[in-house]
Structure 1
Amino acid sequence: MRHTLPIAPQFYVTAPQPCPYLGGRSERKLFTALQGDNAERLNDALSKQGFRRSQNVLYRPSCAECTACLSARIRVADFQPSKSQRRTLRRNAHLRRDATSPWASEDQYALFRRYLDSRHADGGMADMDIFEFAAMIEETPVRSRVVEYSAPPDEPGDRRKLTAVCLTDVLDDGLSMVYSFYDPDRAGDSLGTYIILDHVEIARRSSLPYVYLGYWVPGSRKMGYKAGFGALEIYKNGRWQDIGDPADHTGETHPLAVDPIAEQVARIALPEARTAKSGL
Protein backbone atom coordinates (compact mmCIF):
# COMPACT_ATOMS: atom_id res chain seq x y z
CA MET A 1 0.00 0.00 0.00
CA ARG A 2 0.97 3.61 -0.41
CA HIS A 3 0.39 6.15 2.32
CA THR A 4 0.47 9.93 1.99
CA LEU A 5 0.36 12.19 5.01
CA PRO A 6 0.09 15.99 4.97
CA ILE A 7 3.08 17.94 6.17
CA ALA A 8 2.14 19.14 9.66
CA PRO A 9 4.32 22.14 10.57
CA GLN A 10 3.83 23.94 13.85
CA PHE A 11 2.53 27.50 13.62
CA TYR A 12 3.35 30.28 16.08
CA VAL A 13 2.40 33.92 16.59
CA THR A 14 4.79 36.76 17.34
CA ALA A 15 4.21 39.30 20.09
CA PRO A 16 2.71 42.61 18.91
CA GLN A 17 5.21 45.22 17.71
CA PRO A 18 4.83 48.70 16.19
CA CYS A 19 3.66 48.47 12.58
CA PRO A 20 6.36 49.60 10.09
CA TYR A 21 3.76 50.61 7.49
CA LEU A 22 0.86 52.34 9.23
CA GLY A 23 1.39 54.71 12.12
CA GLY A 24 -0.39 54.02 15.39
CA ARG A 25 -0.98 50.34 14.68
CA SER A 26 0.76 47.20 15.86
CA GLU A 27 1.74 44.16 13.83
CA ARG A 28 1.66 40.46 14.63
CA LYS A 29 2.81 37.58 12.42
CA LEU A 30 1.76 33.96 12.03
CA PHE A 31 4.84 31.91 11.18
CA THR A 32 6.29 28.43 10.82
CA ALA A 33 9.75 26.96 10.31
CA LEU A 34 10.85 26.06 6.80
CA GLN A 35 13.12 23.05 6.90
CA GLY A 36 13.56 19.44 5.86
CA ASP A 37 13.00 17.57 2.60
CA ASN A 38 9.60 19.17 2.02
CA ALA A 39 10.74 22.79 2.43
CA GLU A 40 10.27 23.68 -1.23
CA ARG A 41 6.80 22.16 -1.43
CA LEU A 42 5.74 23.93 1.76
CA ASN A 43 7.10 27.22 0.42
CA ASP A 44 5.21 26.70 -2.84
CA ALA A 45 1.95 25.86 -1.08
CA LEU A 46 2.02 28.64 1.51
CA SER A 47 3.17 31.31 -0.95
CA LYS A 48 -0.12 30.69 -2.77
CA GLN A 49 -1.88 31.50 0.54
CA GLY A 50 -0.28 34.84 1.26
CA PHE A 51 2.86 33.72 3.12
CA ARG A 52 6.36 35.10 2.55
CA ARG A 53 9.81 33.65 3.23
CA SER A 54 12.48 35.18 5.47
CA GLN A 55 15.50 32.86 5.71
CA ASN A 56 14.18 29.63 7.27
CA VAL A 57 10.78 31.01 8.23
CA LEU A 58 7.46 31.43 6.41
CA TYR A 59 5.22 34.17 7.78
CA ARG A 60 1.97 35.99 7.12
CA PRO A 61 0.55 39.07 8.88
CA SER A 62 -2.04 38.18 11.45
CA CYS A 63 -2.66 41.43 13.29
CA ALA A 64 -5.32 41.42 15.99
CA GLU A 65 -7.61 44.09 14.53
CA CYS A 66 -6.17 44.98 11.11
CA THR A 67 -6.23 43.35 7.66
CA ALA A 68 -4.33 46.01 5.71
CA CYS A 69 -1.41 43.85 4.47
CA LEU A 70 -2.38 42.03 1.27
CA SER A 71 -0.07 39.68 -0.61
CA ALA A 72 0.33 40.83 -4.23
CA ARG A 73 1.40 39.13 -7.45
CA ILE A 74 1.50 40.02 -11.16
CA ARG A 75 -0.16 37.80 -13.76
CA VAL A 76 2.67 37.55 -16.25
CA ALA A 77 0.58 36.59 -19.30
CA ASP A 78 -1.70 39.63 -18.90
CA PHE A 79 0.90 42.20 -17.94
CA GLN A 80 1.60 45.16 -20.22
CA PRO A 81 3.97 47.90 -19.05
CA SER A 82 2.62 51.42 -18.82
CA LYS A 83 4.15 54.30 -20.78
CA SER A 84 6.29 55.34 -17.80
CA GLN A 85 7.35 51.74 -17.20
CA ARG A 86 8.45 51.44 -20.83
CA ARG A 87 10.60 54.54 -20.29
CA THR A 88 12.09 52.86 -17.21
CA LEU A 89 12.97 49.80 -19.30
CA ARG A 90 14.70 51.94 -21.91
CA ARG A 91 16.53 54.00 -19.27
CA ASN A 92 18.05 50.87 -17.74
CA ALA A 93 18.61 48.82 -20.88
CA HIS A 94 22.38 49.14 -20.43
CA LEU A 95 22.32 47.10 -17.20
CA ARG A 96 23.53 43.52 -17.37
CA ARG A 97 21.66 40.86 -15.43
CA ASP A 98 23.46 37.92 -13.77
CA ALA A 99 21.54 35.24 -11.83
CA THR A 100 23.83 33.53 -9.35
CA SER A 101 23.70 31.12 -6.43
CA PRO A 102 22.58 32.65 -3.10
CA TRP A 103 26.01 33.68 -1.84
CA ALA A 104 26.66 37.05 -0.24
CA SER A 105 29.55 39.26 -1.36
CA GLU A 106 31.27 42.35 0.01
CA ASP A 107 30.07 44.34 -3.01
CA GLN A 108 26.49 43.34 -2.29
CA TYR A 109 26.80 44.33 1.36
CA ALA A 110 28.38 47.70 0.50
CA LEU A 111 25.46 48.46 -1.84
CA PHE A 112 22.97 47.19 0.74
CA ARG A 113 24.42 49.53 3.42
CA ARG A 114 24.28 52.54 1.11
CA TYR A 115 20.69 51.69 0.23
CA LEU A 116 19.63 51.34 3.87
CA ASP A 117 21.45 54.46 5.03
CA SER A 118 19.75 56.48 2.31
CA ARG A 119 16.27 54.97 2.21
CA HIS A 120 15.60 53.09 5.47
CA ALA A 121 17.98 54.47 8.10
CA ASP A 122 15.36 54.02 10.83
CA GLY A 123 14.02 50.66 9.63
CA GLY A 124 14.29 47.23 11.19
CA MET A 125 17.35 46.31 9.11
CA ALA A 126 19.32 49.49 9.84
CA ASP A 127 21.76 47.76 12.21
CA MET A 128 22.30 44.64 10.11
CA ASP A 129 25.99 43.72 9.95
CA ILE A 130 27.71 41.74 7.21
CA PHE A 131 27.16 38.41 8.99
CA GLU A 132 23.42 39.02 9.33
CA PHE A 133 23.32 40.13 5.71
CA ALA A 134 25.06 36.90 4.67
CA ALA A 135 22.48 34.91 6.64
CA MET A 136 19.63 36.73 4.88
CA ILE A 137 21.08 35.82 1.49
CA GLU A 138 22.49 32.36 2.14
CA GLU A 139 20.16 30.72 4.68
CA THR A 140 17.60 29.36 2.27
CA PRO A 141 16.29 25.79 2.22
CA VAL A 142 14.55 26.36 -1.13
CA ARG A 143 15.57 27.12 -4.70
CA SER A 144 16.81 30.72 -4.59
CA ARG A 145 18.87 33.01 -6.79
CA VAL A 146 20.65 36.29 -6.33
CA VAL A 147 19.87 38.42 -9.38
CA GLU A 148 22.52 41.11 -9.82
CA TYR A 149 22.33 44.11 -12.15
CA SER A 150 25.55 45.87 -13.11
CA ALA A 151 26.40 48.95 -15.16
CA PRO A 152 29.33 49.29 -17.58
CA PRO A 153 32.57 50.64 -16.02
CA ASP A 154 33.37 54.34 -16.24
CA GLU A 155 36.83 53.65 -17.61
CA PRO A 156 38.17 50.79 -19.78
CA GLY A 157 39.69 48.10 -17.61
CA ASP A 158 37.56 48.94 -14.56
CA ARG A 159 35.07 46.47 -13.12
CA ARG A 160 31.39 46.73 -13.89
CA LYS A 161 29.50 48.60 -11.17
CA LEU A 162 27.01 46.62 -9.09
CA THR A 163 23.84 48.69 -9.30
CA ALA A 164 20.96 46.57 -7.99
CA VAL A 165 20.38 43.18 -6.36
CA CYS A 166 17.32 41.02 -5.78
CA LEU A 167 17.10 37.85 -3.69
CA THR A 168 14.56 35.73 -5.56
CA ASP A 169 12.89 32.39 -4.81
CA VAL A 170 11.87 30.13 -7.70
CA LEU A 171 8.42 28.70 -6.93
CA ASP A 172 6.52 26.10 -8.89
CA ASP A 173 4.22 28.83 -10.24
CA GLY A 174 6.40 31.90 -10.31
CA LEU A 175 9.18 34.06 -8.94
CA SER A 176 8.98 35.45 -5.42
CA MET A 177 10.96 38.65 -4.91
CA VAL A 178 12.16 38.20 -1.34
CA TYR A 179 14.20 41.40 -1.00
CA SER A 180 15.76 43.93 -3.38
CA PHE A 181 18.03 46.94 -3.03
CA TYR A 182 19.80 49.31 -5.38
CA ASP A 183 22.12 52.29 -5.80
CA PRO A 184 20.40 55.20 -3.97
CA ASP A 185 22.31 57.73 -6.11
CA ARG A 186 20.28 56.52 -9.10
CA ALA A 187 16.85 57.10 -7.60
CA GLY A 188 15.77 58.93 -10.76
CA ASP A 189 16.25 55.76 -12.81
CA SER A 190 13.38 53.95 -11.00
CA LEU A 191 15.56 50.92 -10.34
CA GLY A 192 13.04 49.33 -7.98
CA THR A 193 10.44 49.39 -10.74
CA TYR A 194 12.99 48.14 -13.26
CA ILE A 195 13.84 45.09 -11.12
CA ILE A 196 10.15 44.12 -11.01
CA LEU A 197 9.73 44.63 -14.75
CA ASP A 198 12.79 42.51 -15.45
CA HIS A 199 11.49 39.75 -13.17
CA VAL A 200 8.27 39.74 -15.18
CA GLU A 201 10.39 39.17 -18.28
CA ILE A 202 12.39 36.39 -16.56
CA ALA A 203 9.14 34.69 -15.53
CA ARG A 204 7.73 35.07 -19.05
CA ARG A 205 10.78 33.43 -20.60
CA SER A 206 10.63 30.66 -17.99
CA SER A 207 6.89 30.02 -18.59
CA LEU A 208 6.09 30.91 -14.97
CA PRO A 209 2.66 32.53 -14.53
CA TYR A 210 3.29 34.87 -11.58
CA VAL A 211 5.73 37.30 -10.00
CA TYR A 212 5.12 37.62 -6.25
CA LEU A 213 5.84 41.13 -4.94
CA GLY A 214 5.32 40.72 -1.21
CA TYR A 215 2.71 42.81 0.59
CA TRP A 216 0.74 45.74 -0.71
CA VAL A 217 -0.58 47.93 2.10
CA PRO A 218 -3.39 50.40 1.30
CA GLY A 219 -2.58 53.73 2.90
CA SER A 220 1.17 53.06 3.12
CA ARG A 221 3.43 55.29 1.03
CA LYS A 222 6.19 52.67 1.28
CA MET A 223 4.06 50.03 -0.44
CA GLY A 224 1.86 52.17 -2.67
CA TYR A 225 4.06 51.73 -5.77
CA LYS A 226 2.97 48.10 -6.18
CA ALA A 227 -0.55 49.19 -7.16
CA GLY A 228 1.00 50.87 -10.22
CA PHE A 229 1.62 47.52 -11.95
CA GLY A 230 -0.98 46.13 -14.30
CA ALA A 231 -2.46 42.64 -14.05
CA LEU A 232 -2.02 42.80 -10.27
CA GLU A 233 -3.79 40.34 -7.99
CA ILE A 234 -4.13 40.48 -4.22
CA TYR A 235 -4.81 37.69 -1.74
CA LYS A 236 -7.91 38.78 0.16
CA ASN A 237 -10.59 36.87 2.05
CA GLY A 238 -8.83 33.58 1.36
CA ARG A 239 -8.54 33.87 -2.42
CA TRP A 240 -6.59 35.64 -5.16
CA GLN A 241 -8.55 38.38 -6.93
CA ASP A 242 -7.81 41.23 -9.31
CA ILE A 243 -6.98 44.38 -7.39
CA GLY A 244 -9.50 46.47 -9.33
CA ASP A 245 -9.52 50.05 -8.08
CA PRO A 246 -6.87 50.32 -5.31
CA ALA A 247 -9.02 52.96 -3.61
CA ASP A 248 -11.64 50.29 -2.90
CA HIS A 249 -9.32 48.53 -0.44
CA THR A 250 -8.76 49.71 3.11
CA GLY A 251 -7.34 48.10 6.22
CA GLU A 252 -10.19 47.20 8.54
CA THR A 253 -9.51 47.93 12.19
CA HIS A 254 -12.34 46.51 14.25
CA PRO A 255 -12.19 43.55 16.70
CA LEU A 256 -13.96 41.13 14.33
CA ALA A 257 -11.83 41.93 11.26
CA VAL A 258 -9.48 39.01 11.90
CA ASP A 259 -10.45 35.41 12.63
CA PRO A 260 -8.94 33.69 15.68
CA ILE A 261 -5.52 32.14 15.10
CA ALA A 262 -6.84 28.58 15.51
CA GLU A 263 -9.36 29.14 12.70
CA GLN A 264 -6.71 30.69 10.46
CA VAL A 265 -4.38 27.73 10.93
CA ALA A 266 -7.17 25.22 10.36
CA ARG A 267 -7.85 26.72 6.93
CA ILE A 268 -4.24 26.56 5.72
CA ALA A 269 -3.93 24.01 2.91
CA LEU A 270 -0.78 21.95 3.42
CA PRO A 271 0.97 19.92 0.72
CA GLU A 272 1.03 16.18 1.07
CA ALA A 273 4.28 14.48 1.97
CA ARG A 274 6.05 12.45 -0.67
CA THR A 275 4.47 9.07 -1.28
CA ALA A 276 6.17 6.28 0.65
CA LYS A 277 5.82 2.54 0.24
CA SER A 278 4.64 0.44 3.15
CA GLY A 279 5.53 -3.15 3.87
CA LEU A 280 2.06 -3.89 5.23
Structure 2
Amino acid sequence: HRRVLQRNNDLDVIWRTQPAADAYSLYERYITLRHADGDMYPPTREQFDSFIADCREDTAFLHFYRENTLMAVAVCDQMGDGLSAMYTFFAPEEEQRSLGKLAILAQIQACQQKQLPYLYLGYWIRDCQKMRYKTDYRPIELLISRRWLRLK
Protein backbone atom coordinates (compact mmCIF):
# COMPACT_ATOMS: atom_id res chain seq x y z
CA HIS A 1 0.00 0.00 0.00
CA ARG A 2 2.94 2.32 0.62
CA ARG A 3 3.97 1.87 -3.03
CA VAL A 4 0.48 2.83 -4.22
CA LEU A 5 0.57 5.97 -2.09
CA GLN A 6 4.08 6.81 -3.32
CA ARG A 7 3.11 6.36 -7.00
CA ASN A 8 0.21 8.76 -6.53
CA ASN A 9 1.69 11.46 -4.31
CA ASP A 10 1.28 13.88 -7.23
CA LEU A 11 -2.52 13.64 -7.01
CA ASP A 12 -4.83 15.98 -5.14
CA VAL A 13 -7.98 14.62 -3.49
CA ILE A 14 -11.05 16.84 -3.41
CA TRP A 15 -14.27 15.87 -1.60
CA ARG A 16 -17.50 17.06 -3.19
CA THR A 17 -21.22 16.51 -2.69
CA GLN A 18 -21.78 16.08 -6.46
CA PRO A 19 -19.66 14.56 -9.23
CA ALA A 20 -17.51 17.03 -11.16
CA ALA A 21 -18.62 18.14 -14.63
CA ASP A 22 -15.95 15.98 -16.30
CA ALA A 23 -16.82 12.84 -14.29
CA TYR A 24 -19.13 11.37 -16.93
CA SER A 25 -16.45 11.30 -19.64
CA LEU A 26 -14.12 9.46 -17.24
CA TYR A 27 -16.91 7.03 -16.30
CA GLU A 28 -17.69 6.39 -19.98
CA ARG A 29 -14.03 5.62 -20.75
CA TYR A 30 -13.74 3.38 -17.70
CA ILE A 31 -16.85 1.30 -18.49
CA THR A 32 -15.95 1.02 -22.17
CA LEU A 33 -12.36 -0.13 -21.57
CA ARG A 34 -12.73 -2.12 -18.32
CA HIS A 35 -16.27 -3.50 -18.34
CA ALA A 36 -17.28 -4.04 -21.97
CA ASP A 37 -18.23 -7.60 -20.95
CA GLY A 38 -20.65 -6.46 -18.24
CA ASP A 39 -24.22 -5.29 -17.96
CA MET A 40 -23.15 -1.64 -17.56
CA TYR A 41 -21.89 -1.61 -21.14
CA PRO A 42 -22.46 0.45 -23.16
CA PRO A 43 -22.41 3.38 -20.74
CA THR A 44 -25.04 6.09 -21.13
CA ARG A 45 -25.56 9.45 -19.51
CA GLU A 46 -28.91 8.24 -18.15
CA GLN A 47 -27.21 5.23 -16.52
CA PHE A 48 -24.54 7.47 -15.00
CA ASP A 49 -27.13 9.90 -13.66
CA SER A 50 -29.28 7.19 -12.07
CA PHE A 51 -26.36 5.13 -10.71
CA ILE A 52 -23.81 7.80 -9.76
CA ALA A 53 -25.10 11.35 -9.92
CA ASP A 54 -28.55 11.00 -8.33
CA CYS A 55 -27.18 10.73 -4.85
CA ARG A 56 -28.44 10.97 -1.33
CA GLU A 57 -27.53 13.79 1.02
CA ASP A 58 -24.97 11.59 2.78
CA THR A 59 -23.13 10.68 -0.44
CA ALA A 60 -19.63 12.02 -1.00
CA PHE A 61 -17.48 12.02 -4.13
CA LEU A 62 -13.70 11.80 -3.81
CA HIS A 63 -12.12 13.30 -6.93
CA PHE A 64 -8.48 12.54 -7.62
CA TYR A 65 -6.72 15.08 -9.83
CA ARG A 66 -3.30 15.32 -11.44
CA GLU A 67 -3.05 19.04 -12.02
CA ASN A 68 -6.38 19.75 -13.78
CA THR A 69 -6.94 16.22 -15.09
CA LEU A 70 -9.52 14.04 -13.34
CA MET A 71 -7.92 10.65 -12.73
CA ALA A 72 -10.47 8.88 -10.51
CA VAL A 73 -13.74 9.26 -8.65
CA ALA A 74 -14.78 7.24 -5.62
CA VAL A 75 -18.40 7.43 -4.52
CA CYS A 76 -19.19 6.64 -0.90
CA ASP A 77 -22.03 7.02 1.59
CA GLN A 78 -21.46 8.11 5.16
CA MET A 79 -23.12 5.83 7.66
CA GLY A 80 -23.31 6.02 11.43
CA ASP A 81 -20.27 3.80 11.97
CA GLY A 82 -18.31 4.14 8.75
CA LEU A 83 -18.17 4.84 5.07
CA SER A 84 -19.74 2.57 2.49
CA ALA A 85 -17.74 2.42 -0.75
CA MET A 86 -20.37 2.51 -3.49
CA TYR A 87 -18.39 2.66 -6.74
CA THR A 88 -15.05 3.78 -8.09
CA PHE A 89 -14.07 4.58 -11.64
CA PHE A 90 -10.73 5.79 -12.92
CA ALA A 91 -8.54 6.49 -15.94
CA PRO A 92 -8.15 2.98 -17.38
CA GLU A 93 -4.97 3.91 -19.23
CA GLU A 94 -3.29 4.66 -15.88
CA GLU A 95 -3.32 1.05 -14.69
CA GLN A 96 0.20 1.28 -13.21
CA ARG A 97 -1.06 3.81 -10.64
CA SER A 98 -3.49 1.31 -9.02
CA LEU A 99 -6.12 4.03 -8.71
CA GLY A 100 -8.77 1.62 -7.40
CA LYS A 101 -6.51 0.68 -4.51
CA LEU A 102 -5.69 4.33 -3.94
CA ALA A 103 -9.41 5.12 -3.67
CA ILE A 104 -9.85 2.46 -0.98
CA LEU A 105 -6.81 3.73 0.92
CA ALA A 106 -8.17 7.29 0.77
CA GLN A 107 -11.52 6.10 2.15
CA ILE A 108 -9.76 4.20 4.95
CA GLN A 109 -7.85 7.38 5.77
CA ALA A 110 -11.12 9.35 5.78
CA CYS A 111 -12.63 6.84 8.21
CA GLN A 112 -9.63 7.28 10.50
CA GLN A 113 -9.87 11.07 10.35
CA LYS A 114 -13.59 10.97 11.10
CA GLN A 115 -13.01 8.36 13.83
CA LEU A 116 -15.29 5.90 12.06
CA PRO A 117 -14.41 2.25 12.73
CA TYR A 118 -15.50 0.73 9.39
CA LEU A 119 -15.13 1.02 5.65
CA TYR A 120 -17.71 -1.19 3.97
CA LEU A 121 -16.59 -2.47 0.56
CA GLY A 122 -20.02 -3.85 -0.31
CA TYR A 123 -21.15 -7.29 -1.28
CA TRP A 124 -18.64 -9.84 -2.48
CA ILE A 125 -19.10 -12.75 -4.86
CA ARG A 126 -16.43 -15.39 -4.30
CA ASP A 127 -16.26 -16.54 -7.93
CA CYS A 128 -16.22 -13.03 -9.42
CA GLN A 129 -12.64 -12.18 -10.39
CA LYS A 130 -13.40 -8.44 -10.50
CA MET A 131 -14.43 -8.51 -6.82
CA ARG A 132 -11.41 -10.47 -5.61
CA TYR A 133 -9.63 -7.28 -4.47
CA LYS A 134 -12.06 -6.92 -1.56
CA THR A 135 -10.43 -9.76 0.34
CA ASP A 136 -7.06 -7.96 0.24
CA TYR A 137 -8.14 -5.58 3.01
CA ARG A 138 -8.14 -6.86 6.58
CA PRO A 139 -9.75 -7.34 8.93
CA ILE A 140 -12.71 -8.50 6.89
CA GLU A 141 -16.06 -9.91 7.88
CA LEU A 142 -17.74 -12.39 5.54
CA LEU A 143 -21.23 -13.87 5.76
CA ILE A 144 -20.81 -17.48 4.70
CA SER A 145 -23.54 -20.08 5.17
CA ARG A 146 -25.48 -17.65 7.38
CA ARG A 147 -22.53 -17.20 9.76
CA TRP A 148 -20.29 -14.16 10.12
CA LEU A 149 -16.59 -14.95 9.87
CA ARG A 150 -13.96 -12.38 10.80
CA LEU A 151 -10.59 -12.83 9.10
CA LYS A 152 -7.55 -10.93 10.31
TM-score past 0.5 threshold:
yes
The structure whose residues are more often helix, as a share, is 2
> Aligned to 1:129, which of 44, 62, 79?
44
Larger Rg: 1
Contact kept? 1:104, 1:138, Cα under 8 Å? no
Q: Which residue number corresponds to residue 64 of structure 2?
A: 149
SS in 1 for 2:123: strand
Q: Percent identity?
A: 34
| Aligned residue type for 1:124 | D
1:27-60 C-alpha deviation (Å, 9 max, x unpaired): xxxxxxxxxxxxxxxxxxxxxxxxxxxxxxxxxx
Q: Distance in 1 between matches of 2:104 and 2:116?
A: 14
> Aligned to 1:101, which of 17, 23, 29?
17
**Structure 2 unmatched runs, 5+:** none
1:191-218 C-alpha deviation (Å, 9 max, x unpaired): 1111101110000000111001112222
In the TM superposition, residue 237 of structure 1 has moved relative to its aligned partner by 4.7
Q: Distance in 2 between matches of 1:103 and 1:163?
A: 13
Cα distance change of structure 1 residues 126 and 104 upon mapping to structure 2, 3 Å threshold: farther
RMSD: 1.7
In the TM superposition, residue 134 of structure 1 has moved relative to its aligned partner by 1.8
Q: Distance in 2 between matches of 1:219 and 1:131?
A: 30
Contact kept? 2:32, 2:43, Cα under 8 Å? no
Q: TM-score, normalised by structure 2?
A: 0.90
5 Å-filtered alignment, 1:6-17, equals none
**Structure 1 unmatched runs, 5+:** 1-84, 153-159, 245-280
Contact kept? 1:120, 1:126, Cα under 8 Å? yes
Q: TM-score, normalised by structure 1?
A: 0.51
Q: Which residue number corresponds to residue 180 of structure 1?
A: 88
Higher RCO (Cα < 8 Å, 6 or more apart): 1
